[in-house]
Homo-oligomer: A and B are copies of this chain.
Amino acid sequence: MLSKGKIKLVQSLSRKKERDESSLFVAEGNKIVSDLFPLFRCKLLLATSDFLASHSDWQAEEIVEVSRDEMERASLMCCPQSALAVFYKRDYTLQKDLLPSRLSLMLDAVQDPGNLGTIIRIADWFGIKDILCSENTVDLYNPKVVQSTMGALGRVDVHYGDLNSLLDEMKGRISVFGTFLEGENIYERELPSCGIIVMGNEGNGISSELSKRVTDRLYIPSFQTGEGCSESLNVAVATAITCSEFRRRRVGL
């Protein structure tokens, strides 16, 4: 039997304020819950009897078997699945001294939860350990971000903070790459194995303040022909192409 208090807890975690205060977040769906279970401490697992039967070894502070109806009442999704978990957030500590010897991503006010989730998945794929986000980037623990990471959450450290100060502090010790509408053709220039790749807001790109701190301006050329053209690539797509370009130079042509 699922109490009203638990439904209320889950529902409250759709809001950032409540996630911040409680240090909790929600993940839904059999695959994502399964992927996150080894990585985050679980406060509450709501699951159907079928799901629990096949995951009987799982440890959580509380496990409640729920009916489909109860799951629908608790769920933040339109199509609830067999498992919903409330996990404790993790605290990520940024080790600034490691940044110069790694490739990292920096996100300036990325707003769309699906984009952040996809970017986390891209970072995981390309072996990027740290994502540095401006304070006004969408919250990592937004339920839609969690869903779209497809389990990559927890394998990439996502930090929030003042990006301008961070880059000022790192000045001279690290290359800062940004993609713009003009710059050096990303396909044609050498790219190092370490540095920071800055990606900007969906509508406005990289802020002017942060742009000043970019040391290497790149652009992804378009191959459009004919009249009219897409003005830009989706930020997650641009991130994928940029990461691919940095990484392929370690193996390929």
List residues of A whose CB falls within 8 A of some B CB: 38-39, 114, 118, 121-122, 124-127, 150-152, 155, 185, 187-188, 220-226, 228-230, 233-234, 236-237, 240-241, 244-245, 247-248, 250-253
Contacts and interface: CB of A to CB of B under 8 A. Distances in A.
A228 B150 CA distance: 12
27 contacts: A38-B228, A118-B234, A121-B230, A121-B234, A121-B237, A122-B233, A122-B237, A125-B222, A125-B223, A125-B224, A125-B230, A125-B233, A126-B223, A127-B222, A127-B225, A150-B230, A155-B226, A155-B228, A155-B230, A185-B251, A187-B253, A188-B252, A223-B247, A237-B237, A237-B240, A240-B240, A241-B241
Nearest to A154: B228
Contacts of A185: 251-252
Number of this chain's copies in the assembly equals 2
Q: Which of A187, A220, A250 has the most CB of B within 10 A?
A: A187
A230 B152 contact: yes
Contacts of A150: 230, 234
B253 A223 contact: no
Nearest to A242: B244
Contacts of A223: 125-127, 247, 250
Contacts of A230: 121, 124-125, 150-152, 155
Q: Which of A124, A150, A224, A244 has the most CB of B within 10 A?
A: A244
A226 B125 CA distance: 12
Given A241-B244, A252-B188, A224 B124 contact: yes
Contacts of A125: 222-224, 230, 233
Contacts of A187: 248, 251-253
B237 A127 contact: no
Contacts of A225: 127
Given A155-B228, A230-B150, A253 B253 contact: yes
Contact of A126 (B126, B222, B245, B248): B222
A22 B188 CA distance: 48
A68 B31 CA distance: 41
